Amino acid sequence: MKTTIGFIGLGNMGTPIAKNLLAAGYQLQVYNRTLAKIDELGTEGVTRCQSPAEAANSVPFVISMLSDDTVLRESVTGDGGILKTLQPNAVHISMSTISPDTAEELAALHEQAGNRYLASPVFGRPEAADARKLWICISGDEQTKADARPILDCLGQAVIDFGDKTAGANVVKIAGNFMIMASMEMMAEAYTLAEKNGLDRVQVSEFFGSTLFAAPIFQNYGKAIANKQYQPVGFKSKLGYKDARLAFKLSQTSEMPMPTVNTVHNRLLTAVAKGWGEADWVEGVSRGVSEDAGL
């Protein structure tokens, strides 16, 4: 029988990740704020828990995949938090997209408690998580990375080691989500410019997506933007806005002027202000560009 792992957070990303761990033969102690979500995992190998502390009890690894810094911090340090039960030397594999500051703060708390924290944010939408096609970014202590590796290898197409800084992988994740948002913004601007000049925005998108910009981001998001096709919702605008804020804050704390961050931050803030927080972030960006242009 394989190791038992604690698992916290069954959102769009956490659920397929948990299913893949079960498929790989791991036993899971699962906590989710909405307990009914746990039923989706079935009963085989699953123990339902009432708190993060219960999920983290007596396991060598606990994985968290939560929506933001605040929820993660509460899950670690709160009354029912991971730190209440996590055993000595156990590893908290932290997959959420959070600020490097929070990662460093939590890593220090884990160290004080005699256990370990590993930054492991991922790239990929829910379909990619489901198909074990995630790119998993890690950084920090060598032994901790080596210990977590067999678990991470079950979940993605590659695990990339960004060195020994505790929060290095978080910086990469924020930089990447910034680049995705900036790409959506530039495509929406360019294709709407084409539309306003009487061109077929789908043809223009297909041209760039098959030549200079022949990459997944420009093909998949490009198709949605060109066709103004924003269903199904894969990643909400309000979460995109959260990531834009992380990038904005990191540019400030790093003393790194990033005019393009200002643009995408304002775009997602506007989307949320207009009431599109639950819409896909592609809609948040693309519809905003079109509305600004009077379309």
Where along the sequence are the contacts to its own copies (CB under 8 A)? Answer: 100, 123, 135, 137, 158, 160, 162-163, 165, 167-168, 171-172, 174-176, 178-180, 182-183, 185-187, 189-194, 196-200, 203-204, 207-208, 211-218, 250-251, 254-261, 263, 266-267, 289, 292-294
CB of 71 to its own copies, least distance (A): 24
CB of 244 to its own copies, least distance (A): 13
The two counts, helices (H) then strands (E), for the chain are 13, 9
Instruction: Rank residues 232 and 294 by Cβ distance to its own copies and give the closer one.
Output: 294
Instruction: Rank residues 93 and 261 by Cβ distance to its own copies and give the closer one.
Output: 261
- DSSP, collapsed to helix, strand or coil, labels residue 31 as strand
Whether 4 and 30 have beta carbons less than 8 Å apart is answered as no
Whether 72 and 98 have beta carbons less than 8 Å apart is answered as yes
Start-to-end Cα distance in the chain: 59
DSSP state string for 54-80: HHTTT-SEEEE--SSHHHHHHHHHSTT
CA angle 56, 57, 58 (to 5 degrees): 115
Instruction: Rank residues 112 and 211 by Cβ distance to its own copies and give the closer one.
Output: 211
Known active-site residue 173 = yes
Instruction: Rank residues 113 and 258 by Cβ distance to its own copies and give the closer one.
Output: 258
CB of 10 to its own copies, least distance (A): 25
CB of 57 to its own copies, least distance (A): 34
CA dist., res. 122 & res. 94, Å (int)? 10
Provide the token pair at 26.
Answer: 């791991």
Closest by Cα among 126, 68, 120, 95 to 280:
126
Instruction: Rank residues 153 and 162 by Cβ distance to its own copies and give the closer one.
Output: 162
Strand partners, 64: 8, 94
CA dist., res. 243 & res. 267, Å (int)? 12
The single residue of 145, 173, 236, 238 carrying the catalytic annotation is 173
CB of 136 to its own copies, least distance (A): 11
Catalytic sites, residue numbers: 173
